Structure 1
């Protein structure tokens, strides 16, 4: 279909073959490398990040050997030579202009029909042919249907489907029901002084000692382990692996769940900037007298953060170009620099401050020579390359752990009470196709719920320089950070966050199609109450993220 369309549009057989073939080959190569590094296929939504390719390409170029690059160049040259050699032996086919118009229109119709298959006759053809799209498992989807059909099944870039019962009347009813049930319990200010609140999302931060079949010459994260023993701690269940940092951030700041969005969605790129304002923990705290500041040790335009943070209600955004402290650790701004930046931001004003900080130090790839010295030796891996890569990553984590201690030591010196939420955004990419995790015996094939959760668990710490209960948080989705923070900080909670606290008690983890309790057990049969709350939550998320925000004024009073 695509070839016929291109051929009739330009009228050149060989040129049409070259254009269509090269396009599909490029898509296949990009899909291969994304699957190899990230463990997930190429989505149409990935093209929303094409403007940042100049930042992404240097991160992965070291994985492309000179040999592979030369093979690619030679292949292109040979292909072009063959095409132009046989060109003179192919007779020109002349098609009447009227027939070309008919073929173009037919091709366009067929491309549309397949691209929009859920709403066309093609859907019936797929059903009769036994074609099934398991959208909850995209690797299976692409594996059994191929790149083209897998890609087409995700072509609808709608971030979230409109619920059937979505209307102003129903949203006002839901909002008022929640206000009636939870609004009467809106907590009073419990602390004499409102504490500073810090979200510190650490790039690819994970505890490598969870690879229990390996041995480490010393504990790479002794400070983290000490703090988690004495303060609330657990495991964040990140909605992503190896990348798409902004999706974990989206959950943490908005309290909305990626599990309710379409597979492959990047809401920062596709949805958030479509609204003038979206309620977030930043805007909620501002109503209580806070100053809201965001810090990111990289390009401010990445994932449209410069616009997104405005929509979320932040007062200020410091990126790498405006940070005062930006000493490097390897190729990126160090986590120690971020700790210093946070302290400087807290000292700028007397009012309580909310800081959302995003680090970059441990970003993939973990290449030889990244650090001048690797302090920790890892044993138990059979491949030398795996050992070298894991030791480099472990050195980065060790430095992050030291930066965490520096930050907490400085927080202890502050007069104002301060609450820190420290968490990793996702697990690191270690080896191609998660090779190091498999070599270490951490996972086999990710077909069990336990293994799927293991590849999503990153450390979670809630530290305070004032007394808070030492709770074992277990497994927690980032969407629940805000309601936990309001409780520990002793702050007022609007009806939405009261409702969220109720949902947290029922279903503390939402990831993809999974509902999981804090101990990692799948909740297979939802109770009537859980189903009702989840349905209300879905309606609210749609309304606030891409809808008319009918419920906002009621839920966030």
Structure 2
């Protein structure tokens, strides 16, 4: 490879002066190409770890991993240099990219306990929107440090010698660097040997520990391959056929018949089924060592005594709402997917059977309602693929009431009532609220009604009181629905729960100060603490008689099957399989398994492994595979395409009226136009 290293004094003709200049330029080049990646990795780890001591301790204890991170950073620098052709400019670009990676990872860990993943790049406006809510001195200092580093490297343009590589050499350098990053990203056999020799231990089920142990650059690169879900080893037409045969046998032995809702208590009417997933809803009175001036959740606590209720095991903490929707609506489990993945962004790109498409088959109008913009988490397109007939996002709310930062929960309840009352067909509604989305460090509700007593710092006390006020509003919005439908002639069932525990301050501040957990490091949590930090209250209500059930713990992915059982509706194949698995392991996370006796495990007991493999194979078949299951059972449901008239009522007034069973000349009709 020929290097054209030119000293700054281009008029010099003296060979004796030129040789030292070239030698100095060569040394400067080597120092830059080696030194910048070294300093970049140290800076990245310092930004994310927040402590110079911890950073040095990690480097000393993991020297091989440190140099693997340096090697990847060098490859990025070399690739950018091959494209740009200027050392200083390519160095500043590389510094900016690596700095942004560290900043985003730091913010994500502080917010929701998850680092920065390759697929987070696909979030686009979602990440921009949430990032605008992140403030604080520590974040500002880190942003400033990255900007200073970028400027300093850029200023080296006037210090470093000019280095000109022939075009063919730059192409070769760029291709080599790109292949090296690719090899580690997809873990080619050679890269795998290097990683094994280096003692790399990839902890997919605990990504925070994975990044802490392996370093940000390496862990991020290793996660590239997790963007593609590998085919299970025993996935085949024959294995799926066996699952279908077992399900058909179970249906026959249980005496189930194809029917919708039992006609006895409902006089032949199909009930409205309303799911309300309340943003960050949780019961703050569960906090230890904390007392409230009055009960903030009177409706929830009453229903826990009177109706079917219990706790859901959420795959998320502090964020990732769409992953909870994915589990509930499809019956699939995040524990079968790479840690940190986002199905709405990565995997749902074709019709996927769900509760929405199932209820539509049963003669229901299936509708999604969300009090935020439809692009968020890609819901506009995903809801179509999940079989919803219509999706009412915030763009279609008419002069909505806001509270705090977002549309109020009360406004959402009013919209639910309006949609049910104006629709002739029974409705399946999946609702996602937004009012009490974090952060809570700003007392956005004004004077909070609920005062907190306990050994909390003033900051933690303010955060908890603000959150509790929002949780109370969610409780009252549920009561609004109950007050309306208790006198309705239409049988109606409401299923109310939260998506995840709220992020009450950075580093789990309120939870730690209240003694709810012992550490902000999730890898130090006991199984009981993992369970507590993922358990969400679930309550149900109906204006018709339903037996009360106590649900100690149930994964979100199993909720749909349980509700269908409560309604005496025959479950389609995938939800029937969910019921079988839930009977043995009602709680299923990637790092926690809860068995039928409520005992806690880190992995599925041996007796359940075969059934879990069936579940994994079916999930793969529906999301990524060849849809073998549809050829054996429930073909129409499992192979159903998206609704042809999806969301037409918000773009075509006549379609809206027809969907509601009304004539276009009906004077009372108030079609909603898109804003």
TM over 0.5: yes
User: How far apart in 1 are the matches of 2:217 and 2:144?
Assistant: 25
User: How far apart in 1 are the matches of 2:142 and 2:614?
Assistant: 55
Q: Does 1:174 align with 2:243?
A: yes
Q: Does 1:342 align with 2:412?
A: no
Task: Pick the structure with greater CA Rg.
Answer: 2
| Residue number in structure 1 paired with 2:184 | 114
Q: Please report how far the alpha carbon of residue 54 of structure 1 lies from its aligned counterpart in structure 2 after TM superposition.
A: 4.5
| Residue number in structure 2 paired with 1:101 | 171
Alignment partner for residue 163 of structure 1, among 218, 227, 232? 232
Alignment partner for residue 134 of structure 1, among 203, 222, 229? 203
Assess if the C-alpha contact under 8 Å between 2:313 and 2:554 holds in 1. yes
Larger RCO, structures 1/2 (Cα 8 Å, 6+ apart): 1
Assess if the C-alpha contact under 8 Å between 2:591 and 2:603 holds in 1. no
Per the alignment, in what secondary structure is the counterpart of residue 463 of structure 1?
strand
Q: Please report how far the alpha carbon of residue 73 of structure 1 lies from its aligned counterpart in structure 2 after TM superposition.
A: 4.9
- Structure 2 CA distance for partners of 1:528 and 1:142, relative to 1, 3 Å: closer
User: How far apart in 2 are the matches of 1:83 and 1:352?
Assistant: 64
Q: Does 1:423 align with 2:497?
A: yes
| Residue number in structure 2 paired with 1:123 | 192
Matches within 5 A, 1:42-61: 42-60=116-134
Aligned residues: 550
Q: Please report how far the alpha carbon of residue 555 of structure 1 lies from its aligned counterpart in structure 2 after TM superposition.
A: 3.7
Q: Please report how far the alpha carbon of residue 389 of structure 1 lies from its aligned counterpart in structure 2 after TM superposition.
A: 0.9
Matches within 5 A, 1:513-552: 513-517=591-595, 520-523=598-601, 530-552=608-630
Q: Please report how far the alpha carbon of residue 93 of structure 1 lies from its aligned counterpart in structure 2 after TM superposition.
A: 2.7
User: How far apart in 1 are the matches of 2:141 and 2:206?
Assistant: 35
User: How far apart in 1 are the matches of 2:572 and 2:160?
Assistant: 73
User: How far apart in 2 are the matches of 1:8 and 1:508?
Assistant: 53
User: How far apart in 1 are the matches of 2:409 and 2:325?
Assistant: 17
| Residue number in structure 2 paired with 1:210 | 286
| Residue number in structure 2 paired with 1:472 | 550
- Structure 2 CA distance for partners of 1:254 and 1:325, relative to 1, 3 Å: farther
Per the alignment, in what secondary structure is the counterpart of residue 426 of structure 1?
coil
Assess if the C-alpha contact under 8 Å between 1:474 and 1:519 holds in 2. no
| Residue number in structure 1 paired with 2:271 | 195
Say which is worse superposed, 350-359 or 8-17, in terms of deviation.
8-17
The one-character-per-residue Cα deviations of 1:226-261 (angstroms, maximum 9, x if unpaired) are 011111111111111111100000000001111001
User: How far apart in 2 are the matches of 1:535 and 1:313?
Assistant: 27
| Residue number in structure 1 paired with 2:68 | none
| Residue number in structure 2 paired with 1:7 | 81
Q: How high is the TM-score relative to the length of structure 1?
A: 0.94
Say which is worse superposed, 151-160 or 384-393, in terms of deviation.
151-160
- Structure 2 CA distance for partners of 1:81 and 1:530, relative to 1, 3 Å: closer
User: How far apart in 2 are the matches of 1:318 and 1:382?
Assistant: 40
Q: Does 1:375 align with 2:449?
A: yes
The one-character-per-residue Cα deviations of 1:500-519 (angstroms, maximum 9, x if unpaired) are 22221111111114221366
| Residue number in structure 1 paired with 2:101 | 27
Q: Does 1:387 align with 2:387?
A: no
User: How far apart in 2 are the matches of 1:87 and 1:556?
Assistant: 66
Consecutive unaligned residues in structure 1, runs of 5 or more:
none
Q: Please report how far the alpha carbon of residue 380 of structure 1 lies from its aligned counterpart in structure 2 after TM superposition.
A: 1.0
User: How far apart in 1 are the matches of 2:378 and 2:535?
Assistant: 26
Alignment partner for residue 328 of structure 1, among 402, 405, 409? 402
Assess if the C-alpha contact under 8 Å between 2:586 and 2:594 holds in 1. yes
Moved over 6 A (4+): none
Per the alignment, in what secondary structure is the counterpart of residue 424 of structure 2?
coil
Assess if the C-alpha contact under 8 Å between 1:214 and 1:379 holds in 2. yes
The one-character-per-residue Cα deviations of 1:358-411 (angstroms, maximum 9, x if unpaired) are 000100111434012200111113311111111100111111111111111112
Q: Please report how far the alpha carbon of residue 528 of structure 1 lies from its aligned counterpart in structure 2 after TM superposition.
A: 6.0
User: How far apart in 1 are the matches of 2:139 and 2:176?
Assistant: 40
Q: Please report how far the alpha carbon of residue 343 of structure 1 lies from its aligned counterpart in structure 2 after TM superposition.
A: 1.0
Alignment partner for residue 245 of structure 1, among 302, 321, 326? 321
Q: Does 1:283 align with 2:357?
A: yes
Consecutive unaligned residues in structure 2, runs of 5 or more:
1-74, 636-675
Alignment partner for residue 538 of structure 2, among 460, 476, 479? 460
Q: Please report how far the alpha carbon of residue 68 of structure 1 lies from its aligned counterpart in structure 2 after TM superposition.
A: 6.2
Assess if the C-alpha contact under 8 Å between 2:335 and 2:588 holds in 1. yes
Q: How high is the TM-score relative to the length of structure 2?
A: 0.78
Q: Please report how far the alpha carbon of residue 70 of structure 1 lies from its aligned counterpart in structure 2 after TM superposition.
A: 7.9
- Structure 2 CA distance for partners of 1:555 and 1:479, relative to 1, 3 Å: farther
Q: Please report how far the alpha carbon of residue 428 of structure 1 lies from its aligned counterpart in structure 2 after TM superposition.
A: 0.5
Q: Please report how far the alpha carbon of residue 357 of structure 1 lies from its aligned counterpart in structure 2 after TM superposition.
A: 0.5
Per the alignment, in what secondary structure is the counterpart of residue 544 of structure 1?
helix
User: How far apart in 2 are the matches of 1:10 and 1:44?
Assistant: 24
Alignment partner for residue 363 of structure 1, among 437, 442, 467? 437
Assess if the C-alpha contact under 8 Å between 1:197 and 1:353 holds in 2. yes
The one-character-per-residue Cα deviations of 1:52-98 (angstroms, maximum 9, x if unpaired) are 344333333xx245x964884587357525742x4434322333444
User: How far apart in 2 are the matches of 1:150 and 1:102?
Assistant: 26
The one-character-per-residue Cα deviations of 1:287-343 (angstroms, maximum 9, x if unpaired) are 221111110000011111111111111111111111246211111111111111111
Per the alignment, in what secondary structure is the counterpart of residue 172 of structure 1?
helix
Per the alignment, in what secondary structure is the counterpart of residue 162 of structure 2?
coil
Q: Please report how far the alpha carbon of residue 523 of structure 1 lies from its aligned counterpart in structure 2 after TM superposition.
A: 4.5
User: How far apart in 1 are the matches of 2:389 and 2:101?
Assistant: 40
Q: Please report how far the alpha carbon of residue 26 of structure 1 lies from its aligned counterpart in structure 2 after TM superposition.
A: 1.3
Q: Please report how far the alpha carbon of residue 20 of structure 1 lies from its aligned counterpart in structure 2 after TM superposition.
A: 0.9
| Residue number in structure 1 paired with 2:392 | 318
The one-character-per-residue Cα deviations of 1:183-225 (angstroms, maximum 9, x if unpaired) are 5533454233221101100000000011121111111111100
- Structure 2 CA distance for partners of 1:124 and 1:394, relative to 1, 3 Å: same
